[in-house]
């Protein structure tokens, strides 16, 4: 069942999104070759709690970390580890914040140093594909229009693949609600998009085949052919004539206290 959100629901999600976006901005300040993904997870955990918020992924259905950190051929739900980041890595970091019952969810792909031309193009295409989908998220359209726009752009113009085993979702009182939002498909299919719906669009794009496999940890998905994958995700509120991006990092900036926290952590 799709639940339309109240103004109070949306206000809570906006407050959570400020912590979420600041966490991503803070990660941009510290991510670099030579550090481990576990270091990033510990940093994010402490930064989120510094803002009196809850890292909502930690403990969710048994997930044992604050962040999902997926490197290179990992598609999503990557476990932070002792892996040391190196020049050329493609790193997708997914984060969910709970602040006073409001949830905010966003994934961002980080480029470690200089990427290969192909990987650079992959990340660029992925981000553009996200916004192609967002353009279709308006009242009167259908959920299928979003996936179709993403798939058409990625496959016809760039030759990459859209991962099909993991999709976007509604979000509200729970992290995962209806509607389900595939990043592929046909126009004119799926639920009608309505004002005050809240959901994520989070295309995962890979260089090779779209098929995935799951690691022995039961969580981490990676490309079946070992090709590199990228993911970007925004959370949207559907307004009267457009989709409003809750998780727009450009709306926020790090405070002096945030910068001091980051400097002390380094």
Could you write out the DSSP letters of every residue in 177-226? EEEEE-SS--TT-SSBP-TT-EEEE--EEESS-S-EEE-TTSS-EEETT-
Instruction: Say if CB 83 and CB 36 are below 8 A apart.
Output: yes
Q: In what helix (H) or strand (E) does residue 168 lie, and over which residues does it extend? A: strand 168-170
Q: In what order do the strands lie in the sheet with 221-223?
A: 74-76, 221-223, 212-214
List phi, psi (to 5°) of 24: -65, -40
Q: How far apart are CA 247 and CA 201, in angstroms?
A: 11
Q: Residues marked as binding for substrate?
A: 77, 176
Write down the H helix ranges in 31-58.
37-50
Q: Residues marked as binding for a divalent metal cation?
A: 94, 105, 169, 202, 233
* Cα Dmax for the chain: 52
Of the candidates 239, 231, 164, the one whose C-alpha atom is nearest the C-alpha of residue 198 is 239
CA distances from 29 to 1, 18, 88, 153, 234 (A): 40, 17, 17, 31, 20
Q: Residues marked as binding?
A: 77, 94, 105, 169, 176, 202, 233
- Omega before 179 cis (within 30°)? yes
Of the candidates 175, 164, 138, the one whose C-alpha atom is nearest the C-alpha of residue 223 is 164
């Amino acid at each position: 069942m799709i639940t339309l959100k109240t103004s109070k629901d949306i206000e809570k999600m906006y407050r959570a999104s400020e912590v979420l976006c600041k966490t991503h901005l803070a990660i941009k300040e510290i991510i670099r070759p030579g550090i481990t993904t576990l270091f990033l997870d510990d940093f994010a955990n402490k930064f989120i709690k510094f803002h009196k918020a809850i890292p909502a992924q930690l403990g969710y259905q048994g997930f044992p970390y604050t962040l999902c950190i997926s490197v290179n051929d990992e598609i999503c739900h990557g476990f932070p580890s002792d892996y040391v980041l190196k020049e050329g890595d493609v790193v997708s970091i997914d984060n969910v914040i709970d602040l006073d019952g409001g949830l905010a969810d966003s994934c961002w792909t980080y480029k470690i140093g200089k990427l290969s031309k192909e990987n650079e193009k992959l990340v660029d295409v992925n981000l553009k594909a996200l916004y192609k989908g967002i353009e279709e998220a308006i009242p009167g359209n259908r959920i299928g229009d979003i996936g179709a726009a993403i798939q058409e752009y990625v496959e016809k113009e760039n030759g990459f693949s859209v991962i099909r085993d993991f999709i976007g979702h509604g979000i509200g009182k729970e992290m995962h609600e209806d509607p389900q939002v595939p990043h592929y498909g046909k126009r004119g299919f799926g639920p009608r998009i309505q004002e005050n719906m809240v959901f994520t669009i989070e295309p995962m794009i890979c260089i090779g085949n779209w098929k995935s496999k799951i690691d022995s940890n039961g969580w981490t998905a990676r490309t079946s052919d070992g090709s590199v994958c990228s993911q970007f995700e925004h959370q949207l509120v559907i307004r009267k004539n457009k989709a409003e991006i809750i998780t727009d990092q450009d709306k926020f900036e790090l405070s002096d206290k945030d910068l001091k926290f980051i400097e002390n952590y380094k």
